[in-house]
A and B are shown apart, each in its own frame.
Chain A
Amino acid sequence: MKRLRVMVLLLCGCATAPRAPEPAKPNQTTASEDAPLVQSYVQQQQSLLDELEHPSAAGHKPECPHLCELVENICALSGRICSVAARHEGEDEMKRACDDGLDRCSRARAEAAAAPCSCGG
């Protein structure tokens, strides 16, 4: 039903939330190896739906659950990149991809902290 709610809001223009971050609901039965990343998307969708239904009175306060889910997505992808790179020990290009991902994860955490949001991790 959550998926329909997203689509209804999307297509009827009943929501006023920004267009870009509308998430897709992932398949919850994806292989267990993908579980952390997929779960992150599920949680993100729920926080966005909550925001659509209960917009914050302040209007422009950072939505920390949403920001933190994006940070988690970035860091989960960084972890995935490094796990792939680990299979190619000694290849500079792969090491650079891993290091770049780790940097992006750190920057994302810093950006959320500056919002200010405490995302943990």
Chain B
Amino acid sequence: MKLALLLALCALATPEPRALWLRQADESHQAADRALAMKQPQAAREALLRFLEAAPPAGIRSDDARSVQQDAWFHLASVELQSGDAKRAQADAEKGLTLGRETDLFTANLLVVRGRARELQQDDRGAISDYQEAMRINEALLKAASEGGR
């Protein structure tokens, strides 16, 4: 009920193209999850790629667009990993990372999934580098969170 109210309020405050894009993002994640549950990774891949091919609507904050798109790239890279295609997983993670690197968990997630993909391709040094960078992001978030409480 609370969520429905929130969505309704935001729909009023949000220009339609943005709301539509967000709905498409959510639907693509849900479709991918459903496809994976039915062991159809190709359908999952297509659902996420369809969303990622659409440019974010005008008027959306670039950092917000980055977050939403990086979340989708992360999901896609995870699908590839689960399908055993580490090379594609790495490529997807890198596409997400080219959108920008910030001190947030969207960036950290992409680094972790790329690290795993690198491990599976015997690039252990690259994997460690990614894990270390993801760790530094988490450390910065921890520092900010703990200082916020003091």
A34-B127 Cα distance, complex, nearest whole Å: 14
Given the interface contacts A7-B22, A25-B71, A62-B149, does A18 sit within 8 Å of B144 by beta carbon?
Answer: yes
Please name all residues of chain A whose beta carbon is closer than 8 Å to the beta carbon of B102 when the two chains form the complex: 20
What is the minimal beta-carbon distance from A60 to any residue of chain B, in angstroms? 6
By the criterion CB–CB under 8 Å, are B7 and A3 in contact?
Answer: no
What is the chain A residue whose CB lies nearest that of B32?
A27
Query: Which residues of the other chain, B, contact A111 by a CB distance below 8 angstroms?
Result: 142-143, 146
- Size bin of chain A's contact surface: 35 or more
- Chain B residues with CB below 8 A from A14, complex form: 6, 9-10
Give, as a whole number of angstroms, the nearest-CB distance from A42 to chain B. Answer: 11
How far is it, in angstroms, between the C-alpha of A56 and the C-alpha of B103 when the chains are bound? 24
**Beta-carbon contacts of A74-105 to B below 8 Å, as 1s and 0s?**
10011011001101100000100100110010
Chain B min CB distance to A84 (Å): 5
Nearest neighbor of A48 in chain B, beta-carbon distance: B105
Cα–Cα distance between A78 and B131 once the two chains are bound (Å): 8
Residues of B within 8 A of A94 (CB): 124, 128
User: Is A57 at the interface (CB under 8 A from chain B)?
Assistant: no
Given A53-B2, A85-B128, A114-B146: A21 in contact with B135 (beta carbons within 8 A): no
> Are the C-beta atoms of A12 and B13 separated by less than 8 Å?
yes
Where the two chains meet, the residues of A that have a C-beta atom closer than 8 Å to any C-beta of B are: 1, 3-5, 7-12, 14, 18-31, 33-34, 37, 41, 44, 53, 60-63, 66-67, 70-71, 73-74, 77-78, 80-81, 84-85, 87-88, 94, 97, 100-101, 104, 108, 111-112, 114-115
